[in-house]
C-alpha cells in the first residue's frame, strides 16, 4: 500500500488503494461538513488530492486517514481535508454578462451599496465586483463594501494577499489594469498585486454556507453565489435559496452560475434572466 501511494498513480492502482467503502465514507464526511456531493466518478480526483495528505501524515491507508477524521471532529485536519476536496476554479470577470447588471443595479440604489460574495475562492470574483462598484459608484466609501467568504482557508490566504499572475488579468482593459493593479518588478515581473485602495474595499472571511448561522453582516443589496451550488444536492440548494432571500434588502439581486437553475423553487426570489434572481415582496 505504501508503495502505491508513493508512485505516480496509474488507474489500475487507484482502485486498489482507495476502496469503494473508503470512497463512500469520504463522500459522507465531506457531504456532512461542506454539503459537497462527491460521485463515484470522482475516485481519481479524491485519490490524487488526499494521497498528498496521507504522505504528509505518513499514513499508509485511506482507512487510517478516515479514522483520524471520525475520531477527532475538532482536529485541524478537518480544514485540510475540506481544502483538499474543494474545486476552486475561477477567473476575473467570469460570466462577464453579470457585471453590467450589477453596475446598473448599484447605480440605481447607490448609497451604502453592499455585496456578499459567498464562494470567493482565490479572490478574482470579489475583485471584479469591487472594480465594478468603484467604476460605477466611485470611491465613495472608506472600508469594505464587498464581503467575500469561502469555506477553504488556503484560497482565502491567496485572495487576501491580492497577488496574481500577470496573465490572469490579460482580459481586463488597460484602464482597469492601470487603476487597480501594481506590476511586480525584477523576479516578480510576471506578477501583479491588487492596489491597497481596492483591496481595502473587500473584507475576506472564512464561512461555510452550511453553518446554521452566517457571520455575514446582512442585509445586502446583492449576493453572488456562483458555481458552488452545483456541488450541492437539491435539498441544500433549496435551503440556501431561502436563506439568501433573508439576507437581501428588498429589490436585492442574487447572482448564480449559468448552469445553476432554481426557478422551480417557490419563494421570494424570482428569476430576472441571465441567472440573476430578484427579491420580490412576500
Ligand atoms: C468553483 S469555485 C467558484 C468560485 C467563484 N464563485 C466563481 O464562480 O468563479 C467554488 C468555491 O466554492 C467553495 N465552497 C465549496 N463548498 C462551500 C461551502 N460549503 N461553503 C462556502 N464555500 C464553499 C469552494 O471552496 C470554492 O472556492
pLDDT tens for 15-46 read: 468 999 999 999 999 999 999 999 888 999 99
User: Which residue from 211, 87, 247, 225 is spatially nearest to 148, judged by alpha carbons?
Assistant: 225
Please tell me the distance from the alpha carbon of residue 33 to that of residue 37, in angstroms, as a whole number. 11
**Residues with catalytic annotation?**
49, 150
CA of 195 from ligand 1 middle (Å) equals 24
**Residue 219: what are its φ and ψ, rounded to 5°?**
-80, 155
SS3 254: strand
User: Which residue from 245, 251, 250, 236 is spatially nearest to 266, judged by alpha carbons?
Assistant: 245
Evaluate: CB of 159 within 6 angstroms of ligand 1: no
Evaluate: CB of 229 within 6 angstroms of ligand 1: no
Per-residue pLDDT, 265: 87
Evaluate: CB of 128 within 6 angstroms of ligand 1: no
Per-residue pLDDT, 58: 93
Mean pLDDT of 141-146: 86
CA of 87 from ligand 1 middle (Å) equals 7
pLDDT at 13 over 60: no
CA of 57 from ligand 1 middle (Å) equals 26
Closest residue by Cα to atom 23, ligand 1, is 151
Please tell me the distance from the alpha carbon of residue 23 to that of residue 93, in angstroms, as a whole number. 35
Mean pLDDT of 140-158: 93
Evaluate: CB of 208 within 6 angstroms of ligand 1: yes
Evaluate: CB of 33 within 6 angstroms of ligand 1: no
Atom number in ligand 1 closest to CA 210: 19
Question: What are the pLDDT digits (tens) for 80-104?
Answer: 999 999 999 999 999 999 999 999 9
The band of 14, judged by pLDDT with boundaries at 50, 70 and 90, is: very low
Per-residue pLDDT, 16: 61
CA of 237 from ligand 1 middle (Å) equals 13
Please tell me the distance from the alpha carbon of residue 24 to that of residue 43, in angstroms, as a whole number. 10
Per-residue pLDDT, 219: 97
pLDDT at 11 over 60: no
Beta-carbon contacts of 255 under 8 Å, excluding residues fewer than 6 positions away, are: 98, 101, 102, 222, 223, 224, 225, 226, 275, 276, 277
* Pocket test residue of 151, 159, 233 for ligand 1, highest count of atoms within 8 A of CB: 151
pLDDT at 5 over 70: no
Q: Rounded to two decimals, what is the model's pTM?
A: 0.94
CA of 169 from ligand 1 middle (Å) equals 20
The band of 57, judged by pLDDT with boundaries at 50, 70 and 90, is: very high
Q: How far is CA 23 from the centre of its chain?
A: 24
Question: What domains appear along the chain, each with residue ranges and CATH number?
Answer: 2-85 (1.10.155.10), 98-279 (3.40.50.150)
The percentage of the chain sitting over the pLDDT mark of 90, rounded to a whole number, equals 86
Amino acid at each position: 500500500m505504501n508503495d502505491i501511494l508513493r508512485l505516480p498513480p496509474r488507474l489500475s492502482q487507484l482502485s486498489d488503494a482507495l476502496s469503494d467503502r473508503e470512497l463512500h465514507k469520504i463522500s459522507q464526511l465531506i457531504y456532512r461538513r461542506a454539503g459537497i456531493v462527491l460521485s463515484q466518478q470522482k475516485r481519481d480526483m479524491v485519490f490524487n488530492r488526499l494521497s498528498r495528505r496521507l504522505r504528509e501524515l505518513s499514513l499508509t491507508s485511506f482507512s487510517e486517514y478516515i479514522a483520524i477524521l471520525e475520531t477527532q471532529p475538532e482536529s485541524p485536519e478537518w480544514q485540510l481535508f475540506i481544502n483538499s476536496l474543494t474545486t476552486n476554479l475561477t477567473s476575473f470577470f467570469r460570466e462577464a454578462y453579470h457585471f453590467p447588471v450589477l453596475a446598473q443595479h448599484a447605480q440605481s440604489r447607490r448609497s451604502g451599496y453592499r455585496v456578499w460574495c459567498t464562494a470567493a475562492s482565490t479572490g478574482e470574483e470579489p475583485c471584479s465586483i469591487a472594480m465594478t462598484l468603484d467604476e460605477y459608484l466611485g470611491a465613495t466609501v472608506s472600508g469594505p463594501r464587498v464581503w467575500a467568504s469561502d469555506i477553504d482557508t488556503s484560497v482565502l490566504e491567496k485572495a487576501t494577499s491580492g497577488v496574481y499572475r500577470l496573465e490572469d488579468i490579460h482580459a481586463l482593459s488597460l484602464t482597469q489594469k492601470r487603476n487597480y493593479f501594481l506590476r511586480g518588478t525584477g523576479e516578480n515581473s510576471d506578477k501583479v498585486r491588487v492596489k491597497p485602495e481596492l483591496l481595502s474595499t473587500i473584507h475576506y472571511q472564512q464561512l461555510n454556507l452550511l453553518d446554521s448561522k452566517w457571520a455575514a453582516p446582512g442585509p445586502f443589496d446583492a449576493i453572488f453565489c456562483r458555481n458552488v451550488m452545483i456541488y450541492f444536492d437539491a435539498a441544500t440548494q433549496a435551503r440556501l435559496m431561502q436563506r439568501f432571500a433573508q439576507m437581501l434588502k428588498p429589490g436585492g439581486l442574487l447572482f448564480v452560475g449559468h448552469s445553476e437553475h432554481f426557478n422551480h423553487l417557490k419563494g421570494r426570489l424570482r428569476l430576472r434572466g441571465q441567472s440573476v434572481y430578484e427579491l420580490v415582496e412576500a
